[in-house]
Homo-oligomer: A and B are copies of this chain.
Amino acid sequence: MPIYNAPLADMRFILNEVFNAPQFWQANEKLAHLDSATADAILEEMAKFTQNITLSINRSGDEEGARFENGQVYTATNFKDAFKQYAEGGWIGLSADEEWGGQGMPKMLTVLADEMLFATNPSFMLYPLLSVGAGMALSSYASQEQKEKYLPKIYSGEWTGTMCLTEPHAGTDLGIIKTKAEPNADGSYHITGTKIFITGGDHDLTENIIHLVLAKTPDAPAGSRGISLFIVPKYLVNDDGHLDERNAVGPGSIEHKMGIKASATCVMNFDGAKGYLVGNENEGLAAMFVMMNYERLSMGIQGLGASEFAYQNAAQYATDRLQGRSASGTQSPQKPADSILVHGDVRRMLLNARANNEASRAFAVYVAQQLDITKFSTDAEAIKIANDRVALLTPIAKAYLTDTAFNAVLDAQMCFGGHGYIREWGLEQCVRDLRIAQIYEGTNGVQSQDLIGRKVIKNDGAFIQAFIDEIREEVNQLPSELNFIKDVTLDSATEIEVITRYIIDTAHEDANFSNTVAVDYLHAVGLLSFSYMFAKICHAALDKQTEFYQNKLMLARYFVARILPDLKLRIMRIQSGSDIIMHFDQDYFTTQS
């Protein structure tokens, strides 16, 4: 039976000591109601909920899966109860505006709550996550009437939300979607088309589901500039807020997937369903990106949660498993063999995962703080800086955190030997469940294109330079005892500065270049970001004598010695140019002779 103990000590350390969150909240009028004790109580409550509820239905959810029967979807046993408890606990609206029934909590805190949910049950977590994403898009773009009608029900958990983007022929390239929205006389629209990969497209958790749907109006411009966003409820909603007749939308089937099997991934058919325009025609993609960006950060948290879960289970297994003897002499002569923790290679795998978790957690809180500044600050300049930082770091939070987490989960699985391959220990499910995080909400390759194209080349490196400047300013303040992390972080910043300039220059001459090196660049910037996080962690831990803090410094040393050198490899690859990749004829790839 897999274990999970919410890493509250590390969460408190990151929040209170690394980022001084309580002071940050107190200094902000809109967040001054939140103090350290309240934040702590929220984390402790979520720890209980996830350790007791979501963890207990994770494996059964995988084995049972969501079911599609007689045209509707049924969730796995106890999912409905768990969702009810979750909603009643007020968790769905934790970060939502109080105006619509939310609790108005900052992202710095909610990312930590999200981590626990993803660690214990990613399939479950996706149901409320999509609701919150839909809520965000509506908060930003919907009319007051629409907000009043839908938001309180979504945040109370009476209804859920979805995002309906992908079609069989259109995933990354939404410009070619075919779903049509034809205007009705009453101002609503007639929605026709098929959407696929719709998370929570149907289920039995709530009485209604609010679909946010991308579609094209009859005279819309071609491509991504001709996409509009519509609200399409499963059951139409009366003006008094009660449910009316069933809308012409429903699931055609559910996908059979590698993992997250308890999350219903639906094919959704819109057969002339009634839809309501959100915002203006042809501005749907912008509205949807509010939601997408929120999800993208969350996918990074999915990685972190899975990696923490995998690490904890692997560390416990490695402690208990007796096999072989220590190379430097028997450690437990009274036992038939030593714990496999004596073996350097097992430690290497565990330390890879743990270093990843601690840096990822700091990075998630760092990005969340930037998001909180954009939402709660009243200082226009601070908001602009934070907005740029969020734009730059969102693809890294999504892709780098899920790539490194997937490797960490694989390492943790390997600690179990053959036992990692069977269901019993929970690791094989963790691998399967996490794999999707690298793929959905824009593949990690697409995230890398977003980073290198829109976030770096397009602004001639302004966003990344500002980030590098911040790193330099802060890291230069580290005392000389921390030179082991200070020097390499500054060196890495310079390496990124130089290679960024090289990329921008080369991209102007070679249109294909940036696409061929984008993933390596994203990883290089991710490594710099993690080095920066470890510098912050070390700064907070220095001069504190307990083992907890001293181990933070040691883990940072491990990161410097064993993980950060990958940055040099990434840069070598970037310097190899695009010709070696673009040279091959298209036919080459499917030709053997």
Enumerate chain B residues within 8 angstroms of A376, measured Cβ to Cβ. Answer: none
> Quick check: A558 and B572 within 8 Å, CB to CB?
no
| Binary flags per residue of A564-588, CB closer than 8 Å to B gives 1, else 0 | 0110110011001110111110101
Q: Please report which residues of chain A, range 507-547, place their CB below 8 angstroms from some CB of chain B when the two chains form the complex.
A: 511-519, 547
Contact call A586/B423, Cβ cutoff below 8 A = no
The answer, yes or no, to whether A336 is at the interface (CB within 8 Å) is: yes
Give the bracket for the number of chain A residues in contact with chain B.
35 or more
CA distance A588 to B548 in the complex (A): 9
Any chain B CB within 8 A of the CB of A84? Answer: no
Return the chain B residue nearest A176 by Cβ.
Answer: B336
Q: Judge whether A153 is part of the interface by a CB distance below 8 angstroms.
A: no
The answer, yes or no, to whether A279 is at the interface (CB within 8 Å) is no
A78 at the interface (CB under 8 A from B): no
Q: Which chain B residues border A322 with CB–CB below 8 Å? A: 169, 173, 176
Protomer copies: 2
The CA of A378 and the CA of B346, in the complex, are separated in Å by 43
A344-B512, A417-B172, A516-B345 known; A562 and B590 CB under 8 Å? no
A326, B512: Cα distance in complex, Å? 8
- The interface residues of chain B lying within 8 Å CB-to-CB of A421 are 257-259, 435-436, 439-440
Q: Return chain B residues, CB-CB under 8 Å to A557.
A: 580
Does chain B have a CB within 8 A of A5? yes
Q: Is A166 engaged at the interface, CB distance under 8 Å to the other chain?
A: yes
A13-51 contacts to B, CB under 8 A, are: none
C-alpha gap A548/B511 in the complex (Å): 28
Chain B proximity mask over A319-361: 1 for CB below 8 Å, otherwise 0: 1001110111100000011010111111111110010000000
Q: Give, as a whole number of angstroms, the nearest-CB distance from A51 to chain B.
A: 13
Contact A319 B590 (CB under 8 A): yes
Cβ-closest chain B residue relative to A563: B573
Question: For A220, what are the chain B residues with a Cβ–Cβ distance below 8 Å?
Answer: none
CB-CB under 8 A from A582, the residues of chain B are 344, 347
Contact between B337 and A176, CB atoms less than 8 A apart: yes
Chain B residues, CB < 8 A from A5: 592
Residues of B within 8 A of A479 (CB): none
Please give, as numbers and ranges, the residues of chain B lying within 8 Å of A1 by CB-CB distance.
none
Which one of A365-373, A441-449, A491-499 contacts B? A441-449
**Are B573's CB and A565's CB within 8 A?**
yes
For residue A342, which residues in chain B have a CB less than 8 angstroms away from its CB?
586
Question: Known contacts being A169-B322, A344-B581, A572-B565, is A586 close to B422, with CB within 8 Å?
Answer: no
Residue numbers in B under 8 Å from A569 (CB-CB)? 565-566, 568-569
| A348 touching B315 in the complex, CB below 8 Å, given contacts A414-B443, A421-B257 | no
- Which residues from chain A sit less than 8 Å from chain B, CB to CB? 5, 7-10, 166, 169-173, 176, 197, 255-259, 265, 312, 315-316, 318-319, 322-324, 326-329, 336-337, 339, 341-351, 354, 413-414, 417-418, 420-424, 428, 431-432, 435-436, 438-440, 443-445, 448-449, 511-519, 547-548, 551, 554, 557-558, 561-562, 565-566, 568-569, 572-573, 576-578, 580-584, 586, 588-590, 592-593
Q: Which 7 A-B pairs have the closest CB atoms?
A: A344-B516, A9-B593, A344-B515, A258-B428, A561-B576, A328-B511, A315-B589
